[in-house]
Chains A and B, each alone.
Chain A
Amino acid sequence: MTKYQRSSFEYLKPFLFCPSSALSLCLSGCRSLYQLAELPETHQILRQTCRDYADRELTPIAAKLDKEHVYPAKQIQELGTMGVMAVEVPEELGGAGMDYLAYSLAIEEISRGCASTGVRGAKEQKKQWIQPFTTGEKVGCFALSEPGNGSDAGAASTLARQEGDEWVLNGTKAWITNGWDASATVVFATTDKKLKHKGISAFLIPMPHPGLSLGKKEDKLGIRASSTANIILEDCRIPLGNMLGPRGAGFKIAMQTLDSGRIGIASQALGIAQASLDCAADYAHKRTAFGAPIGKLQAIQFKLADMAVAVESARLLTWKAALLRDSKKPFTKEAAMAKLAASEAATFCSHQAIQVLGGMGYVTDMPAERHYRDARITEIYEGTSEIQRLVIGSQLLKEYQL
């Protein structure tokens, strides 16, 4: 045990002998809960390295990237070299061989510097499906949503029919992050309409490819340095071997991928929330009004306190979900809770940060307005807050056997 684990364990000893069933339920659900008080040394070094990188390389250019809609290609490449884009890939295959908690920390620190770069890192993890087909440097994207259905993922109207030794896909996918920069995409299409969501299958399509075209880059409110576009499939033909997993398993694959993806997006939202808090606290220190720094005023202190509690509780939920995933335990509910808490923390903190900054919060000279715009999407993509509540609710009911 490390020094940190030992001290936390000593603190928890009295509680371990408490006969409360709720406590034992909690402990059996996450045997590493006591580790959350202090991160292991490797994770601390990782977090510091990513923080240094974000402070030196991302924060100075974030405003410019946002204003000019420029994709941070050089920085993404550098992060790739550092291993941040392949955190879970084993060392033998050139990855970092680290766990999901490490990945979550990395995404949070990068998003603190630049949310658009963070979202690239968060979406990268879905590459595991594309790994066999592309080399390490290439980027993939995940195409589930359609113009006619986002939350209603089971109603995929993109169709796939078999013709000889090929699949032929027709339809449109919407809101695809990294669409313009990807070398391959995972597309979810209906193979058997009668089976409803059990009739959806996953397909890998390399890009560019005949029959696959990209729509225009969306002009978004936030995360403007990251590209979002439609993917249009018109008689797009791919070999039979390009189906991922068994026929009809598409919906399940999508949901499983989303579970992990939610931890990534939660981490990104945490980064934005933390950046807002840092910005507000720094301003409260420097700005004087009524004869003293505004940080002395209770109104400001209460805001900062609420922001800090929101961030820290969301962070612990995110770490817990990551630790559960690392222990290969079920983590669907915790991932949904993390994403819900973190995205709402991001919008809350960025909103309050503008309030603390007053007029300065409304102009582009300070990053507060960019955080406000970047935070908003976190409550929508990778499952809206409403969907997260549905997921949590149904998981809870299962636990209570209702």
Chain B
Amino acid sequence: MSGRVLVGVKRVIDYAVKIRVKPDNTGVVTDGVKHSMNPFCEIAVEEAVKLKEKKLIKEVVAVSCGPQQSQETIRTALAMGADRGIHVEVSGKDYENLGPLQVSKILAALAKKEDAQLILLGKQAIDDDCNQTGQMTAALLDWPQGTFASEVSLEGDKINLVREIDGGLEHIKINTPAVVTADLRLNTPRYATLPNIMKAKKKKIATMKPADLGVDLTSRLEVLKVEEPPQRQAGMKVETVEDLVGKLKEAGRI
């Protein structure tokens, strides 16, 4: 058991920013817009650091795929307590077309290369809401997966997980190595302390290209158009349930 955990962190547009669609409808405006670490990735980093503090794992490696600026996101993970970082450089058109499938291939290759015991990811990114990377990575590696985790505990070489699902909470036990994706209530991410921010400066971030890992970045998807959701129309008030049923029938909804 290497005791090594890979944590994936994604650089996304900050949750507080108002998103605007580009005039040519090919995507959203990202230039000059504030970016930060995906909130679910923060939760994943926090969980990894907690496991290390409990001495259940030995090393936390933060990984990010993207352009030069992704290093800032890795640096934030280091300031939260990760030991070292890996930046897989993807820029330009490749970055625009980068999706869960390519990222999972990269993570799978890295997991083998780094002999990782556990991969911790956020359940989904707040920009594309795909909710696929964790699941795909597990499938590519043929590893068990614990997604939407709200509680994680290591027991020997197994992991006890509580998953938040539509029906309630599901308790499962999976073998390691495994992929776990973090849901909102797993933990509350810490603020980086100043001493840790200073220590992060000295921690290493290795850079590599997807080709170094033997990963082909060709996308199977093509974005045709990006547009804003339709403006919300005003609703109307009705007096009785009969009125409501009548109106719904009129609109052809029932």
User: Residues on A close to B: CB < 8 A?
Assistant: 41-42, 44-46, 48-49, 52-53, 78, 81-84, 87, 91, 94-98, 102, 106
Contact B75 A41 (CB under 8 A): yes
Q: Dominant SS at the A interface?
A: helix
Contact A42 B201 (CB under 8 A): yes
Contact B72 A95 (CB under 8 A): no
A41-B72, A45-B79 as given contacts; A91 in contact with B193, CB under 8 Å? no
Tell me, rounded to whole Å, the shortest Cβ–Cβ distance linking B199 to chain A: 8
Q: A41-B75, A84-B194, A98-B198 are in contact. List 12 more A-B contacts (CB 8 A).
A: A41-B72, A42-B201, A45-B76, A45-B192, A46-B194, A53-B191, A82-B192, A91-B198, A94-B195, A97-B195, A98-B197, A102-B194
What separation, in Å, do the CA atoms of A81 and B193 have in the docked complex? 7
A41-B72, A41-B75 as given contacts; A49 in contact with B195, CB under 8 Å? no
Tell me, rounded to whole Å, the shortest Cβ–Cβ distance linking B105 to chain A: 30
Write out the residue numbers on chain B whose beta carbons fall within 8 Å of the beta carbon of A102.
194
Tell me, rounded to whole Å, the shortest Cβ–Cβ distance linking A74 to chain B: 14
B200 interfacial by beta-carbon distance below 8 Å: yes
A45-B75, A45-B76, A45-B79 as given contacts; A82 in contact with B198, CB under 8 Å? no
Write out the residue numbers on chain A whose beta carbons fall within 8 Å of the beta carbon of B193.
81-83, 96
Q: How many B residues face the partner with a CB closer than 8 A?
A: 15
Give 14 pairs: A residue, B residue, CB < 8 Å, sorted on A.
Answer: A42-B201, A45-B79, A45-B192, A46-B194, A48-B36, A52-B191, A53-B191, A78-B191, A83-B193, A95-B195, A96-B194, A96-B197, A97-B198, A98-B197
Write out the residue numbers on chain B whose beta carbons fall within 8 Å of the beta carbon of A52.
191
Tell me, rounded to whole Å, the shortest Cβ–Cβ distance linking A95 to chain B: 7
Write out the residue numbers on chain B whose beta carbons fall within 8 Å of the beta carbon of A84.
194
Tell me, rounded to whole Å, the shortest Cβ–Cβ distance linking A105 to chain B: 11
Contact B76 A83 (CB under 8 A): no
User: Residues on B close to A: CB < 8 A?
Assistant: 36, 72, 75-76, 79, 191-195, 197-201
A41-B75, A42-B200 as given contacts; A83 in contact with B195, CB under 8 Å? yes
Tell me, rounded to whole Å, the shortest Cβ–Cβ distance linking B80 to chain A: 10
What separation, in Å, do the CA atoms of A137 and B137 have in the docked complex? 46
- A-B interface contact total, Cβ < 8 Å: 52
Tell me, rounded to whole Å, the shortest Cβ–Cβ distance linking B74 to chain A: 11
The 5 nearest A-B residue pairs measured at CB: A96-B194, A83-B194, A82-B193, A83-B193, A49-B192
Write out the residue numbers on chain A whose beta carbons fall within 8 Å of the beta carbon of B195.
83, 91, 94-97
Contact A98 B191 (CB under 8 A): no
Write out the residue numbers on chain B whose beta carbons fall within 8 Å of the beta carbon of A49.
79, 191-192, 197
Write out the residue numbers on chain B whose beta carbons fall within 8 Å of the beta carbon of A45.
72, 75-76, 79, 192, 197, 200
What separation, in Å, do the CA atoms of A81 and B200 have in the docked complex? 17
Find the A residue at minimum CB distance from B192: A49
Tell me, rounded to whole Å, the shortest Cβ–Cβ distance linking A38 to chain B: 13
Write out the residue numbers on chain A whose beta carbons fall within 8 Å of the beta carbon of B200.
42, 45
Tell me, rounded to whole Å, the shortest Cβ–Cβ distance linking A146 to chain B: 36
A42-B200, A42-B201 as given contacts; A98 in contact with B75, CB under 8 Å? no
Write out the residue numbers on chain A whose beta carbons fall within 8 Å of the beta carbon of B76.
45
Find the A residue at minimum CB distance from B79: A45
Write out the residue numbers on chain B whose beta carbons fall within 8 Å of the beta carbon of A42.
197-198, 200-201
Find the A residue at minimum CB distance from B71: A41
Tell me, rounded to whole Å, the shortest Cβ–Cβ distance linking B15 to chain A: 11
Tell me, rounded to whole Å, the shortest Cβ–Cβ distance linking B246 to chain A: 38
What separation, in Å, do the CA atoms of A41 and B197 have in the docked complex? 10
Write out the residue numbers on chain A whose beta carbons fall within 8 Å of the beta carbon of B201.
41-42
Tell me, rounded to whole Å, the shortest Cβ–Cβ distance linking B227 to chain A: 24
Tell me, rounded to whole Å, the shortest Cβ–Cβ distance linking A281 to chain B: 14
Tell me, rounded to whole Å, the shortest Cβ–Cβ distance linking A250 to chain B: 32
Find the A residue at minimum CB distance from B34: A48
